[in-house]
Amino acid sequence: MKYLPIDSQLFINNRKNLSIRLKANELAVFNANDVMPTNADGTMPFKQNSDFFWLSGVDQEESVLIIFPDHPVESQREILFLKETNEHIAIWEGAKLTKEGALKTAGIKTVYWLNELEGKLDELIRKCNGIYLNKNIHSRSASSVETRDDRFRKMIANKFTETTIHEVAPIMHELRAIKSDFEIKLMQNACDITEKGLRRILPFIKPEVMEYEIEAELMHEFLKNRSNGFAYQPIIGSGVDSCVLHYIDNNKACKDGDILLMDFGAEYANYASDLTRTIPVNGKFTNRQKAVYNSVLHVMKEATNMLRSGTIFKEYNTEIGRIMELELIKLGLLDKHDVQKQDAKKPLFKQYFMHGTSHYLGLDVHDVGDFGWPMKEGMVFTCEPGIYILEEELGIRLENDILVTANGPDDLMKNIPIEAEEIEHLMNS
């Protein structure tokens, strides 16, 4: 991995926090992600299962973690199973994690090779009252791909028919939603790398530059700062494509006079950052572009101030909608009389602002967490209002990453330029 070693205390603490949430004399099993195929003998870059990484820090495929807090033998309360290196693997792929390396990374003393899993699992399940298994229950998940966790669940259900199976994912969602100081430092690093990327590209962007050239400049800056690259598919959309929420083709020339919407973020140590900036291709906002930009920025500042402990998402979104209505009326996009008569279930502002303002952020760009929960200290959210005027080919979105603290919202991207005048100055410097 490109990132610097992480203090194993992070993962030791995480496992302790999970252990106290499990039922008496029950164990939990977590699987690493698969290496996904492409075609022929090709594979996609490996991306670790977020729950598995959160608990172990191990960034290696074909790994299994078992947590059994009430096992009578202390050495059997945390067990890591790893793929053993052989001569062929060492030559073709590089040596895998050693048992000593696993201790240093995860803080787990008991490590077995993967070929010992079946026998050990039989022994442990005979001693427990039930087993916690993992699966992806993210509210946005629509994948039909079977995971290692899915296959493991089928094996357990078929082989251990009398064993009670519990879902561990709801517990993991609650735990992962609150970021520790260790995690906040990693996320801050990801945000800082993203800042370097933005500062690199602002003077670079000129009329006729290709969207993919901007993407390439960002990737260069990310990689040189120990990031594996983008935390998600970057959006580099100019002109009419600034109004396409998930435009990822990034394949056309940026034209003089157009606006350019860029939604990207660096990943660091598997943690995501998520930034959006919208800029004038020629380095100077038109009056109309600046008016829309400043309206979005105003909504963003108001929304950021509401990201506090105790805030309820439903109330948060309602208030943001009210603020957005006022800005859209000011911009001549909505009529105040129409707004007064609107159907509350179909607010008119959604013609121009059709997505949510905030989502959880962490190991995943759309991180786990329930929007029914009140906001709590340690949660990290994006703040990303936007106004999209398709008939004007003008889409403006701004986005920063906000940590909820005891002292109010802490913008992890507060050092990244956002005022229209700052953007223009940096583009023309």
Residues 61-80 have pLDDT tens digits of 999 999 999 999 999 999 99
Check if the beta carbon of residue 109 is closer than 8 Å to that of residue 5: no
With b for 16 or more beta-carbon neighbours within 10 A and e for fewer, the 107-128 pattern comes to bbebbbeeeebeebbeebbeeb
* Average pLDDT over every residue of 141-169: 90
* Helices (H), ranges, 36-144: 50-56, 87-92, 99-106, 117-127
Judged against a pLDDT cut of 70, whether residue 41 lies above it is answered with yes
What integer pLDDT is reported at residue 97 of this predicted model?
A: 86
Integer Cα distance of 1 and 95 in angstroms: 13
- Which is nearest to 178 in space by CA: 404, 407, 408? 404
What integer pLDDT is reported at residue 181 of this predicted model?
A: 98
Integer Cα distance of 377 and 398 in angstroms: 23
Q: Is 88 exposed, middle or buried (0-12, 13-18, 19+ CB in 10 A)?
A: exposed
Judged against a pLDDT cut of 80, whether residue 86 lies above it is answered with no
* Average pLDDT over every residue of 174-188: 98
Integer Cα distance of 388 and 14 in angstroms: 41
Q: Which two tokens stand for residue 343?
A: 């159907």
The rounded percent of the chain whose pLDDT value lies above 90 is: 89
Q: Which two tokens stand for residue 362?
A: 């962490």
Integer Cα distance of 48 and 56 in angstroms: 11
What integer pLDDT is reported at residue 76 of this predicted model?
A: 97
pLDDT tens string 319-364 = 999 999 999 999 999 999 999 999 988 999 999 999 999 999 999 9
* Average pLDDT over every residue of 250-263: 98
* Average pLDDT over every residue of 23-38: 94
* Average pLDDT over every residue of 167-195: 98
* Average pLDDT over every residue of 299-318: 97
What integer pLDDT is reported at residue 360 of this predicted model?
A: 98
Task: Give the H/E segment covering residue 213.
Answer: helix 211-224
pLDDT band, very low/low/confident/very high, at 379 (cuts 50, 70, 90) = very high
Q: Which two tokens stand for residue 324?
A: 């957005």
Task: Pick the range with the lowest mean pLDDT from 21-35, 131-145, 264-278, 375-389.
Answer: 131-145
What integer pLDDT is reported at residue 352 of this predicted model?
A: 98
The rounded percent of the chain whose pLDDT value lies above 70 is: 99
Check if the beta carbon of residue 178 is closer than 8 Å to that of residue 361: no
- Which is nearest to 34 in space by CA: 137, 139, 143? 143
Q: Which two tokens stand for residue 414?
A: 């507060």
Judged against a pLDDT cut of 80, whether residue 247 lies above it is answered with yes
Task: Give the H/E segment covering residue 171.
Answer: helix 169-177
What integer pLDDT is reported at residue 139 of this predicted model?
A: 72
Integer Cα distance of 347 and 382 in angstroms: 23
pLDDT band, very low/low/confident/very high, at 87 (cuts 50, 70, 90) = low
Integer Cα distance of 284 and 198 in angstroms: 17
Q: How far is CA 262 from CA 201, 254, 330, 348, 371, in A?
A: 11, 12, 25, 26, 26
* Average pLDDT over every residue of 205-223: 98
Place of tokens 């939604």: 263
Integer Cα distance of 413 and 417 in angstroms: 9
Mean pLDDT of the chain: 95
- Which is nearest to 147 in space by CA: 165, 133, 132, 131? 133
* Average pLDDT over every residue of 10-35: 97
What integer pLDDT is reported at residue 369 of this predicted model?
A: 96
User: Long-range pairs for 324-332 at CB < 8 Å and ≥24 separation?
Assistant: 324/299, 324/349, 324/352, 324/353, 324/385, 324/387, 325/349, 327/295, 327/296, 327/298, 327/299, 327/387, 328/295, 328/352, 328/353, 328/387, 330/295, 331/291, 331/292, 331/295, 331/387
What integer pLDDT is reported at residue 1 of this predicted model?
A: 85
* Average pLDDT over every residue of 129-156: 88
pLDDT band, very low/low/confident/very high, at 137 (cuts 50, 70, 90) = confident
Task: Pick the range with the lowest mean pLDDT from 35-44, 281-290, 330-339.
Answer: 35-44
DSSP state of 73: S
What integer pLDDT is reported at residue 37 of this predicted model?
A: 87
pTM above 0.75, yes or no: yes
Q: How far is CA 357 from CA 135, 227, 315, 384, 399, in A?
A: 27, 26, 12, 5, 9
Q: How far is CA 405 from CA 66, 147, 338, 419, in A?
A: 33, 36, 39, 24
Task: Pick the range with the lowest mean pLDDT from 38-42, 114-118, 137-141, 250-254.
Answer: 137-141
The β-bridge relationship of strands 130-133 and 164-167 is: parallel
What is the residue type of 144? S
Q: Which string of DSSP letters, residue by residue, matches 240-283?
A: GGGG-TT-----SBPPTT-EEEEEE-EEETTEE--EEEEEETTS
Please tell me the total number of residues recorded for the chain in this structure: 429
pLDDT band, very low/low/confident/very high, at 31 (cuts 50, 70, 90) = very high
Domain architecture of the chain: domains with CATH: 9-176 (3.40.350.10), 181-427 (3.90.230.10)
Integer Cα distance of 65 and 71 in angstroms: 15
- Which is nearest to 111 in space by CA: 121, 126, 101, 119? 101
Check if the beta carbon of residue 203 is closer than 8 Å to that of residue 429: yes
pLDDT band, very low/low/confident/very high, at 84 (cuts 50, 70, 90) = confident
What integer pLDDT is reported at residue 96 of this predicted model?
A: 81
Q: What are phi and psi of 186, to 5 degrees?
A: -65, -40
What integer pLDDT is reported at residue 90 of this predicted model?
A: 67
pLDDT band, very low/low/confident/very high, at 215 (cuts 50, 70, 90) = very high
Judged against a pLDDT cut of 90, whether residue 178 lies above it is answered with yes
Q: Is 412 exposed, middle or buried (0-12, 13-18, 19+ CB in 10 A)?
A: buried
